[in-house]
Amino acid sequence: MTQLAHDRYCDEIAHQVEQLRAVVTSGADLSATVPTCPDWSLEDLVRHMGGALRWVEALVRTRAQQEIPEEEVPLAGGPAAQGDPAALDAWLAQTGRLVVAALREAGPDAKVWAWAEPKSAGFWARRMTHEITIHRADATLAAQLPYEVAPDVAADAVDEWLQIVEWAQRTRPDKDTEELRVPGRSIHLHATDTGPELNAEWLIELTEEGVAWRRGHEKATVALRGPLVSVLLAFYSRLPLDSEELEVLGERELLEFWLRRATFG
C-alpha cells in the first residue's frame, strides 16, 4: 500500500501539534479524565504525547541504532509546573518544532532504530503522525471539542493500524492475536463521505495464517459504514459502534471481537 510522502507526514505532525496546543489553551480543564484513556487526565495525555515526540526527536537527531531510554531524553516529562496551560503550550510548541526539524533534516531513508521495519526516520514520521492524530481525538473528547482530520491522513491511519496488527500477530503472538486466526470471517470498512480517488474502503480477512487485508469494496461477514473520521475513530475504539453516524451490517459480534483483540501496547 502506497504511503504518504515524508514531507506530508512532517507537515501533518506540525499541524496536529498546533491543533493539540489549541486544546491546551482552550480553557479546558487539564485535570479532566480522558474518557478513552481513563487512567489519564488531559494534562497526562498531553505530556505523554509530547514526551513521545521528544523521544522520537532524540532517536532521529542522533541516528540512534538502539532504543534510547525515555528517562535520558531532556524535558520528555514536560514542564515542571503542573496545571499551567501556558507552560504546557510553550513546551508542546518547542517539541513540535524540534521533532519536525529533525525528521525533515533526516529524510525518510535515514537509518534509525525502530521497533518494526523499516528502521528509518520515515517509520517514525508516519508513526508519530498517527500517534498524535489519535491522541488529539482523545484530547478533544476530554475537552468536549470538535474533531476533524484530513481524509488522506485518516485513511493512512487505518492502513497503518492494520499493518501494526499484522506485525503484532507475526512477531509478538499472544492470546488475543492468536484468537484472530478465525478462518472464513471478514470485516468490511466503508467510508461513505469520500470519492473513488481515495478508495477509503477495506476488506479484512481473518485466516488461519493470520490477518490479511486490502483496499476495496467487497462483501464481508460484517460491515462498518459511516463518515471516514467516524470509521477511523470506531476502528481505534475511540467511538462507540452504536454512535448515530455509524452503521453496522451483519455479524456485529465479529466486529466487537476484533476490537477487543486487535490491540497493541
Domain edge (last residue) among 89, 122, 143: 143
* Distance in angstroms (rounded) separating the CA atoms of residues 147 and 137: 6
Residues 128 and 72 in one domain: yes
Number of domains composing the chain: 2
Give burial (CB, 10 Å; 0-12/13-18/19+) of 265: exposed
Q: Is the backbone of residue 243 left (phi > 0), alpha (psi -120 to 50) or beta? A: beta
31: its cell numbers = 485535570
The answer to the question of residue 1 being in a domain is no
* Distance in angstroms (rounded) separating the CA atoms of residues 237 and 159: 15
Q: What is the span of the domain harbouring residue 87?
A: 6-143
Q: Say if CB 47 and CB 60 are below 8 A apart.
A: no
Residues 114 and 22 in one domain: yes
* Secondary structure (H, E, C), 17-62: HHHHHHHHCCCCCCCCEECCEEEEEHHHHHHHHHHHHHHHHHHHHC
Phi/psi at 101 (5° precision)? -60, -40
> What does the pLDDT read at residue 264?
61
Residues 128 and 207 in one domain: no
Give the CATH number, domain containing residue 20. Answer: 1.20.120.450
- C-alpha distances (whole Å) from 254 to each of 51, 102, 159, 174 are 35, 42, 20, 19
pLDDT in tens, the chain (265 residues): 569 999 999 999 999 999 999 999 999 999 999 999 999 999 999 999 999 999 999 999 999 999 999 999 999 999 999 999 999 999 999 999 999 999 999 999 999 999 999 999 999 999 999 999 999 999 999 999 999 999 999 999 999 999 999 998 888 777 877 888 888 999 999 999 999 999 999 999 999 988 999 999 999 999 999 999 999 999 999 999 999 999 999 999 999 999 998 876 4
Domain edge (last residue) among 85, 115, 143: 143
Rg (CA), the chain: 19
